[in-house]
Structure formats: C-alpha cells, structure tokens
Amino acid sequence: MKLGFNMLLYGATVTEEQFPLFPVLKRHGFESIEVPLLVEQPNTDYIRLRSELDRLGLARTTVTIATADADPSSPDAAVRKMALERLRWAIQTSVKLGSTILCGPFHSALGVFPASSPDDLVRADRLRWSADTLREAAEIASPYLTLAMEALNRFECWLINTCDQAAELVTLVGHDGLRMMYDTFHANIEERDPVAALEKVVGSVVHFHASENDRGVPGHGHVPFANTFRVLRRADYDGFVTIEAFGQALPDLAAATRIWRPLYRSPDDVSYLGALGLRSAWDDAV
C-alpha cells in the first residue's frame, strides 16, 4: 500500500511555510504529497517545492478543478478554450513538480448547476464538449503524466456523479492519457453499493482518495475501507491511496468544502490516525 496525503487539509496552496510538515508526514508513513493546483500562483516556486520533496524522498501527485469561466463542458467554445489553457497550466505545473498523476473533477465547473434538471440531449452535448476538451488535454499530458478524472457528488457538480458516468466519459475521450480516480466520500453519497461500483470500473482507476464519510479521519466513520481495499488488492492496484480531509483552519476553504464543525482534534490526528486506520484496513483486505 502506497499512502499519499492531500495538502488541502492545510490550505489551497503549498508554500515554504508548509515545508516543516513534510518530514512529519513521512514519519507517519506517507510516500507522496498531493499538491493542490486550484489557482495560479505566479510567485510560487514549484522547482523549490519539488527539490524539497525530492530531498525527503517523497513522490507527488497534483489535483485541480474546473471553474465557471474555464469549463470543459461549456456550450461556449471560448470558455472551453480557457478550460484547455487552464488544464495546460495545471499539466505544465505538475511536470515542474515531477507529478505522475493530475487528478480532480476537471470534467466540468465545480459548483455550477443548471436552472432545472437537464434532459438527455443537453447532457449528451455537455459530455461531448467535455470529452473533446479532455482529449486535447490528455494529448498534452500523456508524455509526462496521467490525468485521473474524479466523479463528484451531486451537491458539488451535476455532470459526473457516479463511477458509471465517469467511465462513460473516459470511453468518450478514448485516450490512454485519461483515466479515472475513485473517491470514497463521493461514492458514499452517490453509489447504491460503493464497493460494487468500484469493482465494476477498477480497471480504469489509476488514483484513489481515501476520504471518510464526514471528511474527517479516515477509518473513524462508516466508509467500508477493508471491503473497498479488497477490490483494489484483487485488481493489483499499484497507485497511491491518498488521504483527503478538510478542516476549518482556512475559512474560505472550509466554506467551499462545507465544513461547519470540527471533525478532529488536530491535523496530526488525520495523518497519524488516518495512516494507522488505512494500513489496518489494507491488511484486513485479504
């Protein structure tokens, strides 16, 4: 089991202020750091960040989103062009960092919803536009890294909510540079049987987010991690299992992720207890 840690717990960007956290995370058993690429930070020294992670022997993955003005699924060709440029930036920055995976719900704009329930024709058009944009992005990314597209719950996006829908879009894109990721938090909301849903698509899964049902410490809620990991182990999954949790330290990020109450005593609980819980569940998944 290769454990990763998503730095969104500490903020929307990673700067030198977070460097002292990396040795702690390594002591807790993490082998990779997931770097958020949500907004362009011209002054961020990604080469310095890469050097520090290399020095500690920590691999890295990256995560990004799509926004309303850069939506790959937009009917507006100019907005889709902006989406491709945003993805190009995220890919280029990921390459600077030495990332092997760029993951996230970059198929459509986060938090933007239609005025009424879309019919099948509208959804088909949006899927086609998204697929066309992501195919170009996968072509840009494929010499360097893999894009791992994430299904999100219905309260955060509308186009891709389930594993089946994500798999449908991967098929439409039809490029080896784009695969999918699985997130236990979103699956817990959207899938009637989260474990069976993973089993159906596991062959296309190249990244995994371990996120508890309350967004707190993995293994301290009701997500069936052992049964879920059993599917990964049987499929010889060799990607990272990355903890994704959120807190209240940054009000804007807490509001965006709908964190209205404390979910743990300290961030160290998430990394230390989360790592212990996930490793135990992995060992039980025989």
Cβ–Cβ < 8 Å for 26, 59: no
Angle made by CA atoms 85, 86, 90, in degrees to the nearest 5: 115
Amino acid at 231: V
Average the pLDDT over 118-147 and give the result: 96
258 pLDDT band (50/70/90 cuts)?
confident
| 267 pLDDT more than 90 | no
Buried b (16+ CB within 10 A) or exposed e, 135-166: ebbbebbeeebbbbbbbbbeebbbbbbbbebb
pLDDT (0 to 100) of residue 250: 66
pLDDT (0 to 100) of residue 263: 77
CA 150/CA 228 separation, integer angstroms: 17
In terms of Cβ atoms closer than 10 Å to its own Cβ (0-12, 13-18, 19+), residue 107 is buried
- Domain coordinates in residue numbering, the chain: 2-284
pLDDT (0 to 100) of residue 40: 76
Q: Percentage of the chain with pLDDT > 70?
A: 99
What are the C-alpha distances in Å from 253 to residues 10, 38, 161, 168, 259? 9, 11, 22, 30, 9
pLDDT (0 to 100) of residue 262: 78
What pTM does this model have? 0.95
Q: Percentage of the chain with pLDDT > 90?
A: 84
Q: 202-256: per-residue pLDDT in tens?
A: 999 999 999 999 998 999 999 999 999 999 999 999 999 999 998 776 677 777 7
pLDDT (0 to 100) of residue 175: 98
Average pLDDT of every residue of the chain: 94
Q: 173-209: per-residue pLDDT in tens?
A: 999 999 999 999 999 999 999 999 999 999 999 999 9
Among 60-64, 169-173, 255-259, where is mean pLDDT lowest? Answer: 255-259
pLDDT (0 to 100) of residue 211: 96
pLDDT (0 to 100) of residue 196: 98
| Token digits of residue 219 | 């293994």
State how far Cα 26 lies from the chain centre: 20
| 32 pLDDT more than 70 | yes
42 pLDDT band (50/70/90 cuts)?
low
Q: What is the CATH number of domain 2-284?
A: 3.20.20.150
pLDDT (0 to 100) of residue 246: 84
